[in-house]
């Protein structure tokens, strides 16, 4: 089996496919997924897996240049937000938009990773960077 921290098959494939500027969304369990966007459904039940757990596993493999979050998430300062704060330079520059605007942006994502997070507005769009 794979010996790195991230072992999910679909997520490993998608991250390996990302080029400069491609977008990957990590969303709570209730965020709508736009038609046509690949959905990687990791949600099992309430809180499993948590947004924070999925974020950390993704950041173990994905080079991130910047990210987009909703102002509703920033205002609430809940654990998913705290995890983004803790990620620091690993997620690059932050762009804050409205929740409705973020939903629109997800239409352009390469993939949408659905978590089991039951915290409202726990969504982030990660923009891929390169390692050279």
In the complex, minimum distance from the CB of residue 17 to a copy of itself, in angstroms, rounded to a whole number: 17
HEC letters along the chain: CCCCCCCCHHHHHHHHHCCCCCEEEEECCCCCCCCCCEEEECCCECCECCHHHHHHHHHCCCCEEEEEEEHHHHHHCCHHHHHHHHHHHHHCEEEEECHHHHHHHHHHCCEEEECCCCCCCCCEEEEECCCC
9 binds a copy of itself (CB under 8 A): yes
Count of chain residues binding a copy of itself (CB under 8 A): 25
Structure tokens at 14: 């998608």
Among 17, 30, 93, 98, binds a copy of itself (CB under 8 A): 30
Q: Which of 20, 93, 94, 100 is catalytic?
A: 20
Choose between 7 and 86: whose C-beta lies nearer to a copy of itself.
7
62 binds a copy of itself (CB under 8 A): no
25 binds a copy of itself (CB under 8 A): no
7 binds a copy of itself (CB under 8 A): yes
Asked about 20 being catalytic, the answer comes back as yes
Restricting to residues 109-128, which ones interact with a copy of itself according to CB under 8 A? 116
User: Could you give the residue numbers annotated as active site?
Assistant: 20
């Amino acid at each position: 089996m794979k010996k790195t921290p991230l072992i999910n098959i679909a997520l490993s494939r998608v991250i390996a496919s990302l080029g400069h500027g491609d977008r990957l969304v990590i969303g709570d369990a209730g965020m709508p997924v736009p038609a046509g966007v690949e959905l990687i459904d990791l949600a099992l039940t309430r809180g499993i897996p948590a947004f924070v757990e999925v974020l950390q596993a993704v950041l173990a493999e994905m080079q991130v240049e910047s990210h987009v979050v909703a102002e509703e998430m920033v205002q609430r300062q809940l654990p998913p937000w705290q995890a983004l704060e803790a990620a620091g330079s690993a997620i690059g520059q932050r762009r804050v938009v409205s929740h409705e605007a973020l939903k629109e942006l997800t239409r352009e994502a390469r993939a949408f990773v659905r978590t089991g997070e039951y915290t409202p507005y726990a969504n982030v769009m990660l923009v891929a960077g390169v390692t050279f």
